[in-house]
Amino acid sequence: MTVKVAINGYGTIGKRVADAVSVQEDMEIIGVAKTRPNFEAFMAKKKGYDVFAPEDRIKGMEKANLEVEGSIDDMLERADVIVDCTPGGIGEKNKPIYEKAGVKAIWQGGEDHELAGCSFNAQSNYEEALGRDFVRVVSCNTTGLCRVIKPLDDEFGVNKARVTLMRRAADPADIKKGPINAIVPNPIKLPSHHGPDVKTVLPDIDIATTAVKLPTTLMHLHTINMELNSECTAEEVEALLAKQSRVRFVGQGITSTAEVMEMARDMNRPRSDMWENCVWNESITIYEGELYFFQGIHQESDVIPENVDAIRAVMEVEKDGTKSVAKTNKAMGI
């Protein structure tokens, strides 16, 4: 079975999901939706994707000399599943459209858990999403946390996790957000929402999070502290994380997120994306019985392989999460 996938919203996440889906052997892109004829819409067309638009936007697209295949409804008629990559809050408004069309839908972390009723991370709860009509892929930060908490909990037991998230202020192409010259506690009221979001995937984890926004666009940085139920060494933790296919150790003189992204460029990654958690293995420390380490999260791309796995799960073309992760990784080059 080749799954027919539509993408609603061809921006930072949508265009990356489209490219990731297009290299999978068991799925294909049947169309992407845009609301305006910007450079991304023209690039989608140049890449060979059929472009669709809301009914009331088609004339504007055609006036800009962008060929449109049809409306959103026309795109949904061709699709088995739609990946909604619209801005947070917009996806909720699209749910009735998907329900009417009878297509399965996958949303992003900007939407609330209740919208889909299932929040997804491939290595944590793949089986929970099997055959479901609606799934939400959790945010970049939650994805990164689940990827390390789940194996550590399975191996040693996590009694409590405390995480400080140093968040980038905006994506590189975002000219509307800040700060430019400030550190912003965000949110002021603690703990932050990131811990509860982790619990939508791993409900038994005791986790508290705080967050600040920094004047950078490259990556998020997490400072992770965990109380584990079983005694272990830093070497044992490092060995466990080394086995995780979506965790990459960074060393060899890399001391900043800027150098991590430079490494991604040198690896010839598409858009210099870093799909894996970037853990500084030198930072892995057991101090007074507690675990500490740093990890970097590329906010534009770490959720992309998760979306591919979510497609397989809802369509049940692969019921084994481990096998789906392996397929996605191989096709994407992870």
Tell me how far CA of residue 128 lies from CA of 17, 283, 311, 312, 328, in angstroms: 21, 33, 13, 12, 19
Q: Which pLDDT score is estimated for 202?
A: 98
> Do 65 and 124 belong to one domain?
yes
User: Do 79 and 56 lie in a common domain?
Assistant: yes
**What does each C-alpha distance from 271 to 15, 227, 238, 300, 313 come to in angstroms?**
11, 37, 29, 10, 27
277-331 confidence digits (pLDDT tens)? 999 999 999 999 999 999 999 999 999 999 999 999 999 999 999 999 999 999 9
How many domains is the chain partitioned into structurally? 2
Please choose, from the candidates 208, 193, 230, 243, the residue with its C-alpha nearest in 3D space to the C-alpha of residue 88.
193
| C-alpha span between 317 and 16 (Å, rounded) | 22
- Name the catalytic one among 140, 146, 232, 278: 140
* Shared domain check, 256 and 147: yes
The residue among 83, 85, 120 whose CA lies nearest residue 103 is 83
Residues at the binding site are 12-13, 110, 139-141, 168, 194-195, 299
**Is there a single domain that holds both residue 226 and residue 270?**
yes
Look up residue 276 and give its DSSP letter.
S
pTM for the structure as a whole: 0.97
Same domain as 144, residue 134 = no
Identify whether residues 96 and 144 lie together within a single domain: no
Annotated binding site for NAD(+): 12-13, 110, 168, 299
For 194, the 3-state DSSP assignment is helix
61 & 158 share domain: no
Q: How do residues 243-278 score in pLDDT, each as one tens digit?
A: 999 999 998 899 999 999 999 999 999 999 999 999
* CATH code where residue 52 lies: 3.40.50.720
Sequence-distant (6+) residues with CB within 8 A of 247 are 147, 148, 241, 276, 277, 279
Q: Are residues 122 and 152 in the same domain?
A: no
How far, CA to CA in Å, does 286 sit from each of 18, 238, 283, 292?
41, 11, 10, 6
Burial of 154 (0-12, 13-18, 19+ CB in 10 A): exposed
Residue 112 and residue 138 in contact, taking contact as beta carbons nearer than 8 Å: no
Q: Give CA–CA dist 77/212, Å, rounded.
A: 43
Clarify whether residues 96 and 196 are in a common domain.
no
List the structure tokens of 245.
């296919």
Q: Do residues 292 and 152 share a domain?
A: yes
Tracing tokens 């169309």 back to the chain, one arrives at: 31
Looking at the fold, whether 121 and 173 belong to one and the same domain comes out as no
Tens digits of pLDDT across the chain (334 residues): 899 999 999 999 999 999 999 999 999 999 999 999 999 999 999 999 999 999 999 999 999 999 999 999 999 999 999 999 999 999 999 999 999 999 999 999 999 999 999 999 999 999 999 999 999 999 999 999 999 999 999 999 999 999 999 999 999 999 999 999 999 999 999 999 999 999 999 999 999 999 999 999 999 999 999 999 999 999 999 999 999 999 999 988 999 999 999 999 999 999 999 999 999 999 999 999 999 999 999 999 999 999 999 999 999 999 999 999 999 999 999 9
Q: Which residues pair with 105 in a beta bridge?
A: 82, 134
Do residues 218 and 172 touch, judged by C-beta distance below 8 A?
yes
Place of tokens 């949904």: 76
CATH at residue 203: 3.30.360.10
Query: Is residue 140 among the annotated active site residues?
Result: yes
Residues 75 and 172 in one domain: no
Burial class (CB in 10 A: 0-12, 13-18, 19+), 11: middle
Q: Residue 177 and residue 200: Cα distance in Å, rounded?
A: 28
Q: Which domain holds residue 254?
A: 140-297
CA-to-CA distance for 244 and 4, rounded, in angstroms?
29
SS3 call for 34: coil
Tokens encoding 147: 């990827």
The alpha-carbon radius of gyration of the chain (Å, integer) is 20
